[in-house]
């Protein structure tokens, strides 16, 4: 598909993942969103999530934003990751401290605190870009 002179690729907008199903499982796809092919690395899988809440607002991810993510099951220090914890998806900054995975919010709201986990965390993807919907 070509839109505004750019070749586009449809990327699935996915919701939460019930029962441990991967976020990008077909039953979780709300709709397909066209993304410029130049933003995507060939041979890799991508998905889009809708952000909720303010736990990452200091990183520029606000409530209602769309987040383009590269499907990846591992992360490096300081990556912004999409992680599943007990079947609930979250976007946080990834860190390791010894045998623990630390998922840190980047928020102006002090209510959000880091989570220190030794098990039950599945990395689903790495945040690539944030798309902010236009306001009416």
Residues noted as catalytic: 55, 92
Check if the beta carbon of residue 61 is closer than 8 Å to that of residue 34. no
d(C-alpha 125, C-alpha 71), whole Å: 4
Check if the beta carbon of residue 96 is closer than 8 Å to that of residue 40. no
Neighbour-count burial of 55, counting CB atoms closer than 10 A to its CB (0-12 exposed, 13-18 middle, 19+ buried): buried
């Amino acid at each position: 598909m070509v839109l505004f002179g750019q070749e586009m690729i449809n990327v699935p907008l996915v919701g939460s993942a019930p029962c441990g199903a991967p976020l990008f499982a077909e039953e979780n796809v709300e709709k397909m969103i066209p993304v410029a092919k130049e933003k995507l690395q060939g041979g890799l899988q991508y998905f889009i999530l809708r952000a909720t809440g303010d736990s990452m607002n200091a990183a520029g991810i606000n409530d209602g934003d769309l987040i383009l993510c590269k499907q990846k099951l591992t992360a490096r220090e300081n990556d912004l990751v999409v992680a599943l914890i007990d079947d609930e998806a979250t976007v946080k900054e990834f860190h390791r401290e010894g045998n623990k995975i630390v998922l840190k919010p980047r928020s102006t709201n002090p209510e959000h605190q880091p989570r220190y986990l030794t098990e039950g965390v599945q990395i689903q993807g790495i945040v690539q870009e944030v798309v902010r919907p236009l306001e009416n």
